[in-house]
Structure 1
Amino acid sequence: MDHRDPDSHGRRQSGHECRRHAGDRRVLRHGTMSAAQTVHTAAHPEQALREVHLYKEMLKIRETELQLARAYRDGHVMGACHTYVGQEAVAVGVCAHLQVEDAVFSTHRGHGHALAKGVAATEVAAELFGRATGCSGGRGGSMHLFSPEVGMMGTTGIVGPNILQAVGAGYAFQLNGEDRVAVAFFGDGAVNNGAFHEGLNLASIWDLPVVFVCENNLYATEVPFAYSAGNPEVAMRAEGYGCPGRVVDGNDVMEVDTVAGEAVARARRGDGPTLLECKTYRTRAHAEGMPEVGYRTQEEVDSWKARDPIALLRSHLMGTERVAADEISAWEDEAREEALAAIEFAKASPWPDPSTVFDFVDSSDSAEAARRS
């Protein structure tokens, strides 16, 4: 596979399934389609409402990320800032099937996952600004977003361990007989990590309610995935663990929505884990302040921008003639205003109280003793 060719990156996979052995443990190949090929008619109003909801969710992430990137350039964001621009369809399509009680474990590029899971944009922005009103109280920053109230169990700056955390959560849900699902989001850079092997193997052995979502955006920082993997088709690895693997067009939110829904339902039934390989692309630099090209060409970036997930769904919505252009413009304006309001909220929020520096480090008694010393 040519890592510079977006068509080969999201190419249609032939065949339906190849069984590893008897039963339902298998590797599935899911064909890739564009949003315009996901045909829905006016006779399906519920589907139309869902498409609009998914569109608005992607807009929320996009506009928030663009404002956070600007805030980073203006010196307001503490630490690194890895934006999710271009990959919104994955977080939105997966999280659309999750309940508040379900648990998401994310990565350094986790703003989109947090927003899709229900963390308020104000709390995300305030956290990146290091303010007390942030979802982690200003202690975590961009790479450590935490909001258990909505099932956002944390992002991490370390590549891979969140896979194991999701497996642990799934094991706890199974032991306690809870109707809950754990989801691990990770990039292609994590799949050669031992945590990937251990996590998928154990989840498959015990049929844990876990969905593994690999956001294959072609690069681990600036290293092409094709250079670091003998077989760059991540979903095929599921066969070795005896669980289903699905290849998904990660820029088509409706396709992600469909396939993720099946994976979440499977996990919730107690039928075990699924590995989703969502083939997508980040159109901004690995992190704000780093170069966007050099390790990749501008032509490659532009070719992926032409397949922007928001633009694809916008084109589909307008093509069905169920949504007028002025309605879409109004939604875009609303998302932009909410993102700007989140930035203003963060700027106006207080810094954490220095006297709380030992909070959450150890037990409350230890923290109190340290404060008095």
Structure 2
Amino acid sequence: MPWRAPYASDASRSRGRLFPEANSPTRSEFQRDRDRILHSTAFRRLAHKTQVFIPHEGDHYRTRLTHSIEVGQIARALARALGLDDDLAEALALGHDLGHTPFGHTGEDALDEAMRPYGGFDHNAQALRIVTKLEHRYASFDGLNLTWETLEGLVKHNGPLLGPDGHPTARYAARGLPEASLEYATMHDLRLDLFAGPEAQAAAIADDIAYNAHDIDDGLRAGLFDFSQLAEVDYLRQRIERIDALHPGLERQRCIHELVRRVITDFIEDAINESAARLKASRVASADEVRALDHAIAGFSPVMAAHQQTIKSFLFQNMYRHPDIKRIRVEAAGVARDLFNILFKDPELMPPEWASLAITRGAEDEAKMARVVCDYIAGMTDRYALAEHQRLFDETPELR
């Protein structure tokens, strides 16, 4: 058994599952959660869901699946260094994107707009719906019946949902909390007013590290920007100059890898040092004491946090708002909207199991039928969404 800090989550003292199950003789409760996520249908679908690029644009760009695996590796590294439960950290990393729609954030925005009259759409809340309701694998319950610690980490991937005063935090102030989070909280209180446990926070910071570094990688390989543009960011320019000094004339592909691995290493080491310092200063002695703090314990130092923000700003301007990506996003949003509108109008166009569920729910409440349609579309892969659009409409964009 590896060393665990006193503030680590303890699988043997988990708050349990909504539906009690006998303990496994060979795996901890958090290992079982990781394995259930890994074997879920929703996890496999991530192989064909966009990270930033449409997958058929190239075989070497990130998908939601490869991103999740990379986040899992970083989360485990952070957890081991901090004395946390690395199985729980990995489970949360692997599951953090389960609720994403086809076409990345573009699909999410389109579904959120379509669902605005019916409670909106939030990918963290959708992940909760998937692991508590939409996965149909077990004879005794819907969902995956994950532990309380894993569920709270998925829901609080971006921090607490409620402030100390009981009102929604800034992220949800304008629209209120996602319906799925509120609905589940009536059965299983996830303490939406507290921070998530330390492993969940490690998974969240691992997501930030992976996202920035790998978008630099994909952006360079796709030709959306080049090294001279990256050099406009002081932090990146210094790393590029160091690589040039150590390896003059290095081929471009190896230069890209050298830069990306150095960025990942820098941010991991900084997150370990900063998080360890915060934990020491806070004097917490349990995972619950971590949750009760008024600040996150996982994070970057002020210097690296500033570097991270500069990199994000660069990627926003030069990658996410690149004319080629913007054009694809507009077309992808149109596909998602078209699908919602036609299926909401005529749910019998969905597969029989979804159609019957939508019609039954629609007889009770229009909002419930809309949620069924939303669940169906949110679960689609990019290629399945395009195939459905081709089946239902005369013209479908190629998204190239």
TM-score by length of 2: 0.27
Whose radius of gyration is greater, 1 or 2?
Answer: 2
More strand by share: 1
Highest relative contact order (Cα 8 Å, sep 6+), 1 or 2? Answer: 1
More helix per residue: 1 or 2? Answer: 2
